[in-house]
Amino acid sequence: MRSYFRFTFTLLVCAVGAFSLPATAQLLDATLPMQYIPLGIPCRAVDTVASGGPITGGTFRNFNPGTGCGISAPTTGVIAYALNVTAVPHGPLGYLSVWPAGELQPVISTLNSPDGRIKANAAIVTGGTNGQISVYVSSTADVVLDVSGYFIAEVAVPSTYTFFPITPCRAVNTLASNGTLGSPSLVANQERTFQLTLSNCDIQTPIEVGGAFSVNVTVIPKNGRPVGYVTVWGTSASQPDPPATSTLNATTGTVVANAAIITSNPGTGGGLSVISSDDADLIIDVNGYFANSQLVRDGLSLYTLPPCRILNTGTTGEFSGERTVTVTTGNNCSVSGAAKAYVMNATVVPPVPLGYLTLWENGTARPLASTLNAVDRDVTSNMAIVGTTNGSIDAFASSTTQLILDISAYFAP
C-alpha cells in the first residue's frame, strides 16, 4: 500500500524538564569539516514494517542507512546522514531517539507520539561504529529511515557541496496568487513542479547545475481532512516517477511542517516536484542551499556535536512574541563562535493553539516564514537550520508556549 509507506519528519523531545546530558565520548575525527553529497532521488534505507519487525519498547537497534543506498562510510573521518526518521507506533510512544552507534545514548529525543499516530522528523545524524546509527524506542514501534544525502570530510572526495544560509524566505504558497509558485492548491495524486530559482529568495549561485535546497515544507489540509502524505523531491528527467518516500504526513488533518534537504538535479533549473495523497495547500520556505564547492567558493562545512540542550523554557517559564536565544554562551554545548548556522531540533509544548513558531538570524527583521505549527496544541518538533552572525538567534511564537532547542551540529567556514 503506497500511501502507508510514505512518511515524514517531525522532531519531538521526550521530556520538558531540565536535565543534563551524560558524558559522551567525542566521535573520531568529528572536528573535520564535512561537506554534502546529495542523492539524485531520496532512498528508503530502513523499513522494519517490511523487514526485520518492530523494535521492542525500552530497547535500541543499530542500522546502517548507507546499506541499500549505495553509500559507503569513508575511510577518513566520519559520515553524517540527512535523514527522514519516521516512527510507526504500536500504541502510545513516549519518545524515539537516534544517535551515533557506539556512543552513549543522549538524554534527548528525535520525536514523540503520545497518541500513537505515525510521526516523523528530519535529522542530520552522525554515523558511529561502522557508519551505523542507533534507534531507541520507549514503547514498541516500527521505524522507517529515508536518506536524501550525506556529509563526509572534504578530504574524502574531490566533488562535494557547501552550504549557504539565507534569511528564511517564502518561495511557494499555493494559498496565494503567485504565478507558477502559487495557486491553485495541490490536487490528490497529481504531480506538480515548482522552480525555486524563480522565487524572490536570495539564491545567488547557479544551483541549476546541481546542489540542494534546505527548506521547510508545510501542508495545510483542506477543511481539516487527513492528508496521508506529501512527497517533495528534486525533479529528475532520468527518474520521473515519485520516490517511495515522503516529506510529511498530516493524518489528523492538522497543519504540519517538516524540514527537508531536497536535491536540485542538474538541468532542471532548481525544480522541485511535489505529490500529495489528498487535496491540500502547500508552503515551502527556503533557509539555505548547497552549491558545488569546486564552482562556488566560501561555502560553509558541517561540524558535528554531541546533541546538547541550549534552551528549555520549562525551567524559566512560557513565552510569546519575540525573544533572543544565545547559543555560544550560557550553556555547556561548546558551540564554536565561528558558526554561521546551527542545526537544531525545535520543540514547542503549547498550552493553547500555536499558529506558528519562527526561528531566524538575530539582528535582522522577522521574516515571512515559519519553522513549525501546533494549531492542535500537540507537542510538536521540527529540525531547523538557522543562520547567525553573532552567536545568537531569534525566536517568535504567535501565542504562549514552552520552547526547547537542542543543537546537534553547526555550519562554519
Ordered DSSP codes for 336-368: -TT-SEEEEEEEEE-SS-EEEEEEEETTSPPPS
Q: Which of 5-9, 179-183, 320-324 has the lowest mean pLDDT?
A: 5-9
409 — pLDDT class (breaks 50, 70, 90): very high
Inside any domain, residue 17: no
| Residue at a domain's end among 112, 133, 153 | 153
Inside any domain, residue 29: no
Residues 188, 269: one domain? yes
CB 393 within 8 A of CB 342: yes
Inside any domain, residue 97: yes
pLDDT at position 76, please?
65
Residues 182, 283: one domain? yes
Residues 374, 287: one domain? no
Measured CA to CA, the distance from residue 370 to residue 218 in angstroms comes to: 9
2 — pLDDT class (breaks 50, 70, 90): very low
pLDDT at position 10, please?
32
pLDDT at position 30, please?
54
171 — pLDDT class (breaks 50, 70, 90): very high
Average pLDDT of the chain to the nearest whole number: 88
Residues 130, 68: one domain? yes
Our CA angle for 39, 47, 406, nearest 5°, is: 70
Inside any domain, residue 20: no
Concatenate the DSSP letters of all residues of 236-284 into one string.
-SS--SPPS--SEEETTSS-EEEEEEEEE-TTSSSEEEEEESS-EEEEE
- ω into 184 cis (within 30 of 0): yes
Whether 203 has a pLDDT exceeding 50, the answer reads: yes
Whether 413 has a pLDDT exceeding 70, the answer reads: yes
What's the number of domains the chain is made of?
Answer: 3
Residues in the chain: 413
Q: In the predicted model, what is the mean pLDDT of residues 21-48?
A: 73
User: Is 92 in a helix, a strand, or coil?
Assistant: coil
Tell how many helices (H) and how many strands (E) occur in the chain.
Answer: 0, 23
Which of 16-20, 46-50, 265-269 has maximum average pLDDT? 46-50
Q: Which of 326, 344, 332 is nearest to 391 (CA)?
A: 326
Residues 192, 131: one domain? no
Q: Which of 10-19, 49-58, 150-159, 178-187 has the lowest mean pLDDT?
A: 10-19
CB 402 within 8 A of CB 313: yes
pLDDT at position 407, please?
93
- Half-sphere exposure of 171 toward its Cβ, with a 13 Å CA cutoff? 27
Whether 412 has a pLDDT exceeding 70, the answer reads: yes
Residues 148, 171: one domain? no
Whether 177 has a pLDDT exceeding 90, the answer reads: yes
Inside any domain, residue 287: yes
Residues 48, 118: one domain? yes
DSSP state of 300: B
Whether 345 has a pLDDT exceeding 60, the answer reads: yes
| Residue at a domain's end among 135, 153, 171 | 153
Measured CA to CA, the distance from residue 31 to residue 267 in angstroms comes to: 35
Inside any domain, residue 312: yes
Residues 119, 166: one domain? no
Measured CA to CA, the distance from residue 380 to residue 349 in angstroms comes to: 7
| Residue at a domain's end among 292, 324, 345 | 292
The letter for the amino acid at 410 is Y
- Domain containing residue 308: CATH number: 2.60.120
For 140, the grid coordinates are: 514498541
Q: Which of 64-73, 141-150, 252-261 has the lowest mean pLDDT?
A: 64-73
Inside any domain, residue 28: no
Residues 166, 286: one domain? yes
pLDDT at position 252, please?
93
Contacts of 365 (CB under 8 A, 6+ apart): none
Instruction: Write down the pTM of the prediction.
Output: 0.90
C-alpha distances (whole Å) from 80 to each of 57, 90, 153, 218, 355 are 26, 29, 10, 25, 32
Whether 377 has a pLDDT exceeding 50, the answer reads: yes
Inside any domain, residue 59: yes
Residues 134, 181: one domain? no
Choice between 293 and 147, residue whose per-residue pLDDT is larger: 147
The range of the structural domain enclosing residue 389 comes to 301-412
8 — pLDDT class (breaks 50, 70, 90): very low
Residues 131, 183: one domain? no
Q: Which of 47-51, 110-114, 230-234 has the lowest mean pLDDT?
A: 110-114
pLDDT at position 346, please?
93
Residues 143, 229: one domain? no
